[in-house]
Structure 1
Amino acid sequence: MPHPPDSAELPPLCAAPRPSLKAPSFRLLPGACDTHAHVISADHIRYPFVADRSYTPAPAPEQAYLQMLHAMGMQRGVLVQPSIYGTDNRYMLEVLERHQACLRGVAVVDDQVSDAVLEHMHHCGVRGVRINVLFRGGVDLDLMERLAARVAEFGWHVQFLIDVRHLETLQARMARLPCPVVIDHLGHFPARLGVREPGFALLRRNVAERGWWVKLSGIYRLSDAPPDYADADALAQALIEAAPERMVWGSDWPHVALQSTPDTGALLNRLPLWAPGEHQRKQILVDNPAALYDFR
């Protein structure tokens, strides 16, 4: 009989999200949307984690997520399938189906997914698929073209969690995709490298010239300067300057794969530093998410 793996071999446990958050420091308009969060069930029997994963998260279930969204003053949200579930999107889909007016989703699928499953996902509110090369359990770049061809028929996008320092090697392939491209977490590279880092400069060009979208999210994953993460400010400002109509904001709640989690409200309160005008903040929080995620 096989023995269970040694505890030292188990994926590391993550800290839970903070039980409270700072209130918004600015006025949020109706329809404000958090475009990047995850839900994680406490029922590991019904919704098991994949064995080959990079971390083991604390529960972050549906009601906790909705409470966080309400505390931030937001009416809309986008759930992203976390890598710990692999291509088993059931929990996210069940949450989406219960809140179709205010929630949308980004799924993780492989190229064996059936049209019927994609149609069901679309009915639930899925509007994109994610390719994740930074955490085990995700779908990798080999499937980029095949997945894009499948989801383009539904009007979906492909969302990439990549380090943009490698963007030059992927540029030609990504530029040919038949659907919108969304880049996670400002390109997920060390903020200390600054706006002149070649991969980031290429990202800015794609945003300005090809209409790529960027999530202004996860700054604490790039930053060497907690708790304010001010070294990421210039990156966000440069992207907004390039194309404010292609920017969306995301909390990245419940902040997985960390031993200490940030204050979600404090992350939102960086936004007025990046976009001082209410018109730009309305674009980023209301208008752009409505367009990208098909909110009506």
Structure 2
Amino acid sequence: MHTLAPKTPGWLDWYEGPSEPTFRLPAGAVDTHCHVFGPQAEFPFAPQRKYTPCDGGKDQLFALRDHLGLARNVIVQATCHGADNSAMVDAVRSAGGRARGIATVRPDITEAELRELDAAGVRGVRFNFVRRLVDTSPKDALHTIARKIAPLGWHIVLYFESADLPELEEFFASLPAPLVIDHMGRPDVSRPVDGPEFTRFLRFVEHNDVWVKVTCPERLSVTGPAALDGEQHAYTDVVPFGRRVVEEFPDLVLWGTDWPHPNLTDHMPDDGLLVDHVRHIAVTEEQRHKLLVANPMRLYWPGEDV
């Protein structure tokens, strides 16, 4: 047995007592953005990782799924595991068809290795451009990966900071696979929702038919959760951004919890409140069904009834 590494100093553990959501999710709702951390004793973290988290394994993830009223998960490879997808694949395989995976792979991955991941339930790869989490994202290497996954019908999940979109959007548009953007491209929510920065992002989505995850208000918010008029309203400053994306692109939006919420330094969110946040950004039943059920099923379980 290897020696377990201590958590990164100041690390915030995920919240073990999430509230019961007051918003009832529609039947078949999918969490399209979550992770598993280890457990470290079974699935060691990558030596080159930028952080060492607490454990957050498949059993805890599936318990949260059931508590919140979700039906399925899309498990995104956590950067603390590098390109060793063992923990993610194990979780997907253990879900009995109720999970899909997003992998991190290297350019030298073989066709046989990709087919094995596909058979396990992986449906895409993630390209990370957030400098505090990865050292480099060499574009030639990423193009090589994109060409290799294209025959499988996989997509590419993109994680970047909003300020970096102008220098990246031409590269993104050149990738030979469908694109999914994490967390609305991480907009600066202190700026106007109709300002030039977010408008540029929306036009990129429009011109390239890009899927968008309206996720992680807890990462984007300046105001944080707040109690207003006796009711708990979480992350109200993010609502106009999420609502605009849902209204403009109702058939291209996805939602997820981001459990177990890596690298947060301000507070750890209540996942029940994250579910309640949905009703503020998707205000009609039709919008909610597309966001939570129809869209993720079309992308991750095509051909299955919803």
TM-score by length of 1: 0.91
Alignment of 1:5-84 (within 5 A): 11-44=8-41, 46-84=42-80
What is the distance in 1 between the residues matched to 2:133 and 2:49? 5
Which of 79, 86, 92 lines up with 2:82 in the alignment?
Answer: 86
Runs of 4+ residues over 6 Å off in structure 1: none
Say if 1:48 and 1:18 are closer, same or farther in 2 by CA, change over 3 A.
Answer: same
- Provide the secondary structure at the position in 2 that maps to 1:269: helix
SS in 1 for 2:28: coil
> Which residue type is aligned with residue 13 of structure 2?
A
* 1:266 alignment partner AA: L
Identify the residue that residue 165 of structure 1 maps to in structure 2: 163
Choose which of 244, 247, 252 in structure 2 pairs with 1:238: 244
1:277 lines up with 2:273 in the alignment: no
In structure 2, how many angstroms separate the alpha carbons of the residues matched to 1:224 and 1:266? 16
Kindly state the Cα deviation for residue 42 of structure 1 after the two structures are TM-superposed. 2.4
- Call closer, same or farther: CA 1:26–1:141 in 2, change over 3 Å: farther
Which residue is equivalent to 2:114? Answer: 118
- 1:143-187 CA deviation, whole Å, 9 max, x = no partner? 332221111111011101101221111122211222111110111
Q: Amino acid of the residue matched to residue 64 of structure 2?
A: M
How far residue 100 of structure 1 moved from its aligned partner, in angstroms, is 4.1
- What is the alpha-carbon distance in structure 1 between the residues aligned to residue 138 and residue 210 of structure 2? 17
Structure 2: 5+ residue stretches without partners: 1-5, 226-233
AA matched with 1:114 = T
CA distance in 2, matches of 1:240, 1:141: 32
Is residue 2:262 matched to residue 1:256? yes
What does residue 229 of structure 2 align with? none
State the partner residue of 2:200.
202
Letter in 2 for 1:27: R
Aligned alpha-carbon RMSD (Å): 1.9
2:124 to 100, 123, 128: 128
Maintained 8 Å contact 2:14/2:259: yes
User: Given the superposition, is the C-alpha separation of residues 97 and 244 from structure 1 closer, same or farther in structure 2, using an over 3 Å criterion?
Assistant: same
SS in 2 for 1:158: strand
The code of the aligned residue for 1:20 comes to G
Instruction: Kindly indicate whether the alpha-carbon contact (under 8 Å) linking 1:132 and 1:162 is maintained by their aligned counterparts in 2.
Output: yes
Identity %: 32
Residues 219-254 of structure 1, C-alpha deviations (whole Å, 9 max, x = no match): 111111111211111110111121110000010001
**Whole-Å separation in 2 of the counterparts to 1:59 and 1:198:** 40
Cα deviations by residue, 1:162-217 (Å, 9 ceiling, x for unpaired): 01221111122211222111110111132112324434222211222321011111
Would you say the 8 A contact 2:72–2:99 is kept in 1?
yes
State the AA in 2 paired with 1:255: H
Question: Per the alignment, do residues 136 and 26 of structure 1 end up closer, same or farther by CA in structure 2, a change over 3 Å counting?
Answer: closer
Deviation at 1:47, TM superposition (A): 2.0
Structure 1 residue 258, shift from structure 2 partner? 1.9
Q: Which SS does the other structure have where 2:251 is aligned? A: helix
Give distance in 1, aligned partners of 2:136 and 2:156: 12
Q: CA deviation at 1:53?
A: 2.6
Where does residue 247 of structure 1 map in the other structure? 253
Partner amino acid for 1:207? V
Amino acid at match of 1:17: W
Note if contact 2:219-2:264 (Cα within 8 Å) is conserved in structure 1: no
CA distance change for structure 1 residues 69 and 234 in 2, over 3 Å: closer, same or farther?
Answer: same
Name the amino acid aligned to 1:235: F
CA contact (8 A) 1:52 1:136 kept: no
Paired residues of 2:8 and 2:53 also in contact (CA < 8 A)? no
Change beyond 3 A, Cα 1:285–1:139: farther
